[in-house]
Amino acid sequence: MIYVSRFTPMSSSPYSVLQAKLQAWLVTLLTVVVEAYELGAVIGKGARVVVGDEVLMPDVLYVPNSERKSVKADAIYGPPALAIDVLHSGVSEDERAMLRRRYAAAHVLEYWQIEADKGRGFCYQADANWNYDLIPPDKGGLHYSAAIVQLAFPVEWFHKQPGLLKLMEWWGIVETEE
Sheet of 76-77: strand order equals: 54-56, 49-51, 76-77
How confident is the model at residue 38, as a pLDDT?
97
8-22, 35-49, 157-171: least confident range: 8-22
> Higher model confidence: residue 7 or residue 24?
24
Q: Which domains does the chain have, with CATH numbers?
A: 15-161 (3.90.1570.10)
2-6, 119-123, 170-174: least confident range: 2-6
pTM for the complete prediction? 0.90
Report pLDDT digits (tens) over 124-163.
999 999 999 999 999 999 999 999 999 999 999 999 999 9
- What is the average pLDDT across 20-38? 96
